[in-house]
A and B are shown apart, each in its own frame.
Chain A
Amino acid sequence: MPGLLLGLLLVVGGCASYSNSFAPIAAEIAGQDLDGALELLGKRKVPERNRLLSLMNRGMLLRMRGEFKASNQEFLAAKRLAEALNALSLREQTTALTINDATRSYVGAPYERVMLNLYMALNYLELGELDQARVEALQVDLLLGELGDDEVGPLFDNDPLARYLSALIFEAGGELSDAMIAYRSAYQAYLEHQERYPVAVPHQLEVDLLRASEAVGLTEENQQYVSEFGIDVWQTAEQLRQQGELVFLFHRGLAPVKVEQSLTVPVPPRGQLVRVALPEYLRRPAGYSVARLRIGGQVLETEIFEDIENLAIAELERNRPAILARAVARNILKYRVTKEAGKKDDLAGLLVNLTGLLTERADTRSWMSLPADIQLARIALVPGVYDLEVELLDPSGARVKTRSFPAVRLEAGRKTFISCHEVAKESLVRKH
């Protein structure tokens, strides 16, 4: 009987998981065919439980196409849905304990909810709507506070780039003391995250801390930063105000993919099969490493400000005990039901066992159109119109692609935000 079951499992077990179904969309993105990717996404029938993912992916693709307004409509809907789904559903908990985890509504990981705010803020900034972006900065602060209440752990109740972007928004609006507080929170976030995965405090943030602490008159703190960072020359807030600033964000590649790792074993004495299927993250090959900017005679490379890949992996680690506990509880239940059915009728036992095995699937859902990391560079120049050249480098440092942004207007005392999300074909390769 186990042999027959295993054979059946091999035939039917290959049905696509959620993460597999995203592969064709990822391929379209890497091929720069965003229309094709959106069309693929639109054609797909989305079950209600995956609606949040569909909204997040649509928002991201529209953003990549430069449709910031439409993108924000999707993100806003996603944010509202995530909030509504925050309440516990007993019905879904029951199905998760009897069938599998993927039958539940996808509620979004803590870092993904933060990314929703962050990307909405970026959309507003690229539209030049500073006050609206400021709303997102306040909301992300609130969200991080709420996540802290939920005890999601130190990695997820503070986010470096969300804080840093808030600082940029406050600074752009002339609110220097709020900017200083946000820069400091960003610094704190890097130090906290450093304990869990390798991430450097960006050099840019060190300069910003020096400038902001000086501007609001925090002399002691300023001196402390001077000795800590070993920097003693920086542009003052007043000098910066007289120049136009370019804030360039490079959204590199795609976030890692969850794949299913499963194990099927026969349990003596009757040889009933028990299967455990758990999600595992697979890092995508790097493709690009950094972006090198050339503007107004200056050359500058982007720095990593948010490492989404490592955050995603850390989030799965945090959840693993709960996922494992549910899998064990489910298997005990399935084992008992199969045993009861097998007592009455061998065929019934076989069918129940088979159903139990086939439905035992890992939840491989995640926001897969997020980049692997977000990099940033700031350049202050004499106000004017500039041509920006962006060279994308591969991990060996060789230039593999160039993108140009002609006629970038930099105005005195203002920040101009430009984003570029590039996925290298190399990062699509997936090992199984």
Chain B
Amino acid sequence: MRIYRICALITLVLTVSLMFGCATQVKRIDPDEVKDLSGAWNDADSRLVSEEMIADMLERPWVSDFMVDSGKRPAVIVGTVRNLSHEHININTFVNDIERSLVNSGRVDFVASAVEREEIRGERKDQDLNAREDTRKAMGQELGADFMLKGQINTIIDHAGKKQVRYYQVDLTLISLADNRKVWLGQKKIKKFVKRSKLRY
């Protein structure tokens, strides 16, 4: 009887250790797949918001108005996007997503940001000294932007006990650099319901 019990115990221990003792598991997933873990702002939110907002922006009449008036495509620059939310959101990936959507649309020209411009100017200065004349790029030939895109991410969080409603609102504004006119206002909202576990191991 006793031996039987010990055997049963050993079997149980082995089964449990087999269940939990596995090595680290890696499963590759598609970058487009939405995987919500903590309920916080994630890559999927950043991508969806930027794509949808830029699509909306490019559909609006300001693009055609500008082309009729000036006869060229509008040149756009991304200014600051402020994070006014409850989370440490990586604004850089969001701005990169916006830039990618804008450039790839082909409907607007896109001007490099202030930081990038500094680097390019440094390179031109260097070319002035070191590059062959026929390949040298002249200074003062930069494309000035016509519009600046600015924005902010806000959140409202409502909570009761372990339940939380997280509401994100992303506002983007396109401002004309010539006369400070706001030519487009975009808004995208995301709402999530997060329920945290009451128990853990």
Contacts and interface: CB of A to CB of B under 8 A. Distances in A.
Given A145-B159, A149-B159, A149-B160, A138 B201 contact: no
A286 B138 CA distance: 67
Contacts of A145: 159
A149 B158 CA distance: 12
B85 interface: yes
A139 interface: yes
Contact of B88 (A84, A87, A132, A149): A132
A89 B201 contact: yes
A84 B157 contact: no
B197 interface: yes
A12 interface: no
Interface string B119-158: 0000000000000000000000000000000000001010
Contacts of A333: none
Nearest to A136: B88
B85 A138 contact: yes
A149 B199 contact: no
Interface string A78-93: 0000001111111100
B159 A135 contact: no
Contact of B82 (A86, A88, A131, A146): A131
Q: How large is the interface on B (under 10, 10 to 19, 20 to 34, 35 or more residues)?
A: 10 to 19
Interface string B166-201: 000000000000000000000000000000111111
A89 B200 contact: yes
Interface in A104-149: 131-132, 134-135, 138-139, 142, 145-146, 149
B64 interface: no
Most buried by B among A86, A131, A134: A131
Contact of A138 (B86, B159, B199, B200): B86
A13 B32 CA distance: 58
Nearest to B82: A131
A87 B198 contact: yes
Nearest to B85: A135
Contacts of B82: 131
A60 B88 CA distance: 20
Given A131-B83, A135-B87, A135-B88, A142 B200 contact: no
A139 B86 contact: yes
A131 B153 CA distance: 11
A134 B200 CA distance: 31
A57 B198 CA distance: 27
A286 to B, nearest CB: 37
Contacts of B198: 87-88
Contacts of B114: none
B84 interface: yes
Nearest to B83: A131
A84 B196 CA distance: 9
Interface string A186-217: 00000000000000000000000000000000
A87 B196 contact: yes
A225 B87 CA distance: 35
Nearest to A89: B200
Given A142-B159, A145-B159, A88 B199 contact: yes
Interface in B72-93: 82-88
A149 B199 CA distance: 18
Nearest to B84: A134
A90 B87 CA distance: 31
Contact of A89 (B83, B160, B199): B199
Nearest to A72: B88
B112 to A, nearest CB: 23
Contacts of A134: 84
B161 interface: yes
Contacts of A91: 201
B84 A131 contact: yes
B200 A88 contact: yes
A87 B200 CA distance: 6
A145 B82 CA distance: 25
Contacts of B157: 142
A135 B200 contact: no
Contacts of B159: 142, 145-146, 149
A132 B88 CA distance: 7
A134 B161 CA distance: 24
B86 A142 contact: yes
A149 B163 CA distance: 11
Given A85-B200, A89-B201, A91-B201, 13 more contacts: A76-B88, A84-B200, A86-B196, A87-B198, A87-B200, A88-B199, A89-B200, A90-B199, A134-B84, A135-B85, A135-B86, A138-B85, A138-B155
**4 tightest CB-CB pairs across the interface, nearest first?**
A87-B200, A138-B86, A87-B197, A89-B200
Interface of B: 82-88, 155, 157, 159-161, 196-201
6 contacts: A84-B200, A88-B198, A91-B201, A131-B82, A138-B85, A142-B86
